[in-house]
Structure 1
Amino acid sequence: MPSDDIDPAETPLAEWVDRLAQAKGAPGGGAACGVMTGIAAGLLGMVAAYTAHDLEARQAEQRLSDKRGLAMRAAEEDGVRSATFGAALAMDQGIDRERAVREATVDAVASALDVGRIATSLLEEVRLLADIGNPHVEPDLRVAVEALRAALEGTNHTARANLDLLARHRTADDHLDPQVANFERDLVDLAEKRAECNIIVTGWASE
């Protein structure tokens, strides 16, 4: 891991947030989305743990532990890629810089979408725990969904911004069309999950 990056799973929270506030970009918004996904998974795991009498909840608790770990690793990886991305942008103008920016931007989009896939996988756990979860920790379930919604929205913003940047640095012979098409399909899937998350929150607000 580059020395300019820090692992959110191994760093005191205050230190990680302090680093986030600096003009470094590593960690940045993508890593923050990964951490918010980890927070959502953690809170959902709490709800599952408080519903230990139910077999499905116990199974969900294990899945959520795994997903929480995936989210934190994705946050760390996004910080690594952000450092590489910043280094590419800091290069002197020229062909080498253009190539480095393209490669780093493709990696940045992929990293954001990796976080998005982990976040969207939490929706099945939300649906389950909304049905069977211990009602005494329903507020924690709602906070989890709000964190998840923020992660999904943030992932979309990050990936879209990086795709826009990539478009400005593409060349006719870069062979990136298939990859960009895959990114766009992933963003459509992400939009559907964001809409589902918004529906859940809207339903709670109308109660």
Structure 2
Amino acid sequence: MQYWPQLPATAPRHQSDRAQRFGRWLLTKLGWTIKGELPAVPKFVVAVAPHTSNWDFVVAMAASLALGVKISFLGKHSIFVWPLRSWLLRWGGIPVRRDSAHGVVTQIVTEFQQQPQLILGVAPEGTRRKVSQYRSGFWQIAKQAQVSIQLLGLDFASKQLVFGPVMLPGESFEQDCAQMRLFFQQMQAKNPEFA
């Protein structure tokens, strides 16, 4: 029997019972389970890793629908066009211009300040390719918006989405990354050669 964590009252929600039923069906069909709980706060960043495949997004989106929680995600502004625009916005997409990394951080910090509830899902690697270090944008967003970072591991070995530690950004991005890596190293990526 699948375990569905209780969604905190503070979390932004998808307003579709049909979408939630679909998400639960899809997650179960794919053989995935959820371990852990979401924090009971209205705003935070979810760092999702390891990110090595397009399947990561599929599994994470199915989990978001299954839980009934609206987890926003960043997308290039150029994909927010008809006929996708309304669908992407409805399911949490935030169009961004990537001309300048600091511009994206400032834009999303402003979103956090303006929204009463916002959960932003981000892959710390910033790409599906192998990277030697995480990008700092998600950490800068959390630090400047004064919100916590929830770690969410995708373990393809056990097919579990694991809600891990919640941390506040400290004084050092490098030190915080070292802590995050300790958690994410316990997860097996879809394509381990890229992790």
Q: TM-score range by the shorter chain?
A: under 0.3
Please, what TM-score do these two structures have when normalized by structure 1? 0.23
Larger relative strand fraction? 2
More helix by share: 1
- Higher-Rg structure is 1
What is the TM-score when the length of structure 2 is the normalising length? Answer: 0.24
